[in-house]
Amino acid sequence: QIQLVQSGPELKKPGETVKISCKASGYTFTDYSMHWVKQAPGKGLKWMGWINTETGEPTYADDFKGRFAFSLETSASTAYLQINNLKNEDTATYFCARSSSYLDYWGQGTTLTVSS
Amino acid sequence: DIVLTQSPASLAVSLGQRATISCRASQSVSTSSYSYMHWYQQKPGQPPKLLIKYASNLESGVPARFSGSGSGTDFTLNIHPVEEEDTATYYCQHSWEIPLTFGAGTKLELK
């Protein structure tokens, strides 16, 4: 069955770096793009961007340009989200989601807490 | 960017009654063939779940009490009859262009 399994919760300090993984199984990884979505505590869903799993080319929403980086390890069917120079406002749950226009399969979410 | 305005922000419905959620886009997200509007259900502590794709197509495994309609800029998610397990937050999302955007969400509770 199709699954996206994300890495576990993270507790970081401001200024640190985090890398969240999203391992796909049950389908051909390069047949679908991978998207990332942020959900701050008690808030709605915010689209961060996507990565072309065939070419590795990332596209970022305006609010996520600069400190955020999407990457792939295609041989391991895994997508990554790296956030550099963490800020308190990065505290959120981050989801990966497979896309074929709509987001049909989602990871379970990775909770990131940024606190000094 | 396309802004999606959902209404109401919250609603309370009795078991067995109908829940209607609206989503209005700031520009058309439809062609003559497809409407690039999708609906999700999210329960606390869980990822969103796809319910309806392309405005009116029920995702596999989703109960038939969920239905979607609309085109252009105005879309609706209906749930009838509402069951206890339907308490959740519902989001619309377009895929007309990049950036994708979501509505702010509608929280459905039981009366």
A45 CB within 8 Å of a chain B CB: yes
Shortest alpha-carbon distance between residue A107 and chain B (Å): 7
Query: pLDDT digits over B54-96, tens only?
Result: 999 999 999 999 999 999 999 999 999 999 999 999 999 999 9
CB-CB: which of B49, B54, B100 is closest to A47?
B100
Are B73 and B26 contacting, i.e. CB atoms less than 8 angstroms apart?
yes
- H or E element that contains A112: strand A110-114
A58 CB within 8 Å of a chain B CB: no
CA separation, residue B86 to residues B6, B14, B67, B81 (Å): 18, 11, 13, 10
pLDDT averaged over chain B? 98
Q: Which residues of A touch B102 (CB under 8 A)?
A: 44-47
Shortest alpha-carbon distance between residue A106 and chain B (Å): 6
Residues 6+ apart with CB under 8 A from A79: A21, A22, A24, A34, A51, A53, A70, A71, A72, A96
Residue of chain B whose alpha carbon sits nearest to that of A60: B99
- Name residues of chain A where pLDDT drops below 50: none
pLDDT mean over B98-103? 97
- Beta carbons of A102 and B93 less than 8 Å apart: yes
- Beta carbons of B38 and A102 less than 8 Å apart: yes
CA atoms of B9 and A106, how far apart (whole Å): 24
Query: pLDDT digits over B15-55, tens only?
Result: 999 999 999 999 999 999 999 999 999 999 999 999 999 99
Which residues share a beta bridge with B105? none
Number of inter-chain CB pairs under 8 A, A vs B: 56
Token pair belonging to B64: 């038939």
CA atoms of A101 and A90, how far apart (whole Å): 26
A68 CB within 8 Å of a chain B CB: no
Residues 6+ apart with CB under 8 A from B1: B99, B101
Confidence at residue A100, expressed as pLDDT on a 0 to 100 scale: 84
- Beta carbons of A62 and B99 less than 8 Å apart: yes
